[in-house]
Structure 1
Amino acid sequence: MHKLATKSSQTLTSNDIENLARRFGGKSEDYIEIVNKQKNKQTIKKYALLNEIERAINV
């Protein structure tokens, strides 16, 4: 049987955000996610389906 390689997601869910807010204080509504726009654009261009979705959204 082949071993499958997996990579854990780095995207936070609403539950993750609520748990962090509860643990460290503050409100989950105040959460702002910081993203690398350049890296996101490179990823979108790399994959045809993401590129199609991006174009459809921005029309």
Structure 2
Amino acid sequence: MVLLVLGLLIASGILNPWMSQQEDDRMVNMWEHQREGLGLILGSLWIWFSRKLIIVKT
């Protein structure tokens, strides 16, 4: 659940002001962090669904 909330905050761009500054242009508009946030969301959903499937299966 914590990963889901953190991922949503990163993906929505709410945490952009607190992200570290980059000296180069590799992460323009913090898209890299937002992709990582989406990865956290998908990962936490995957863990949640797998736990639900294991509980239903047993």
Fold-level similarity (TM above 0.5): no
Q: Which has the higher contact order (CA 8 A, sep 6+)?
A: 2
TM-score, scaled relative to structure 2: 0.28
TM-score, scaled relative to structure 1: 0.28
- Give the structure with the higher percent helix: 2
Larger Rg belongs to: 1
